[in-house]
C-alpha cells in the first residue's frame, strides 16, 4: 500500500493503454456533450477538428479510468480529490487513438487539522499513440498518512 509518506516529489509514472472507439465517442457525446462535431461526420469535417472527435470531457473520463486502474494496481491509500487546478485539452482525440498517461508528483503536504490526511498535487498528461500531448492537468489528491502520530 502506498501512503503519503511514500510519495516523492518529482516521481514519474507512465501507464495505461486505452483504445478510443467510435461507438464510445458517440455514446459519451449523446449522453453528456451532444455537439455536432462529436456526433456527425459531416458536421465534424466542417470544423477545425476535421473529423469526428471525442469530447474533452470524455478525454478526462478516459484519463480518469487509467488513473484509477493504476491506483488499484499499486494499491494507493487514496481518498479522492478536492479538485483540479488546471486543465487543458491540447489536441483532439479521435476514434482509433490509443491513449496513455504520465504523472508526476509536484507537491505534497500534511493536513494541519487532520493528521491522518495528506494532500498532494500531481501533473497528469495524456498522450496519443504518436506521443502527442492531448490532455494536461494539475490535480489535487487526498491520501492517508501511514502513521498519523509521527511528524513528517
Residue 149 lies in a domain: no
Q: Which domain holds residue 107?
A: 4-144
Residue 150 lies in a domain: no
Decide: pTM greater than 0.85: yes
Q: Which residues of the chain have pLDDT under 50?
A: none
Residue 67 lies in a domain: yes
Residue 86 lies in a domain: yes
- pLDDT value, residue 99: 98
Residue 151 lies in a domain: no
Burial of 53 (0-12, 13-18, 19+ CB in 10 A): buried
Give the alpha-carbon dihedral of 141, 9, 136, 86, to 10 degrees.
50
Q: State pLDDT tens for residues 89-127.
A: 999 999 999 999 999 999 999 999 999 999 999 999 999
Residue 17, domain CATH: 3.10.129.10
Angle at Cα 99 formed by Cα 46 and Cα 76, nearest 5°?
Answer: 140
- pLDDT value, residue 33: 98
**Full strand arrangement of the beta sheet holding 98-110:** 12-19, 98-110, 117-127, 133-144, 83-89
Q: How far is CA 151 from CA 66, 109, 111, 114, 118, in A?
A: 32, 11, 11, 12, 12
- pLDDT value, residue 152: 59
- pLDDT value, residue 3: 95
Reading the block at residue 118, the C-alpha cell is: 495528506
Running DSSP on this structure, what letter comes out for residue 133? E
Give the chain's domain count: 1
SS3 117: strand
Residue 30 lies in a domain: yes
Amino acid at each position: 500500500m502506498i501512503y503519503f509518506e511514500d510519495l516523492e516529489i518529482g516521481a514519474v509514472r507512465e501507464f495505461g493503454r486505452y483504445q478510443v472507439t467510435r461507438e464510445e465517442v458517440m455514446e459519451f457525446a449523446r449522453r453528456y456533450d451532444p455537439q455536432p462535431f462529436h456526433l456527425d461526420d459531416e458536421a465534424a469535417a466542417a470544423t477545425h477538428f476535421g473529423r469526428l472527435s471525442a469530447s474533452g470531457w470524455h478525454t478526462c473520463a478516459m484519463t480518469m479510468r487509467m488513473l484509477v486502474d493504476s491506483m488499484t494496481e499499486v494499491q494507493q491509500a487514496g481518498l479522492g480529490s478536492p479538485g483540479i487546478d488546471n486543465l487543458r485539452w491540447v489536441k483532439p482525440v479521435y476514434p482509433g487513438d490509443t491513449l496513455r498517461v504520465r504523472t508526476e508528483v509536484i507537491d505534497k503536504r500534511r493536513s494541519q487539522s487532520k493528521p491522518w490526511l495528506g494532500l498532494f498535487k500531481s501533473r497528469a498528461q495524456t498522450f496519443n499513440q504518436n506521443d502527442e500531448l492531448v490532455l494536461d492537468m494539475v490535480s489535487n489528491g487526498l491520501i492517508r498518512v501511514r502513521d498519523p502520530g509521527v511528524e513528517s
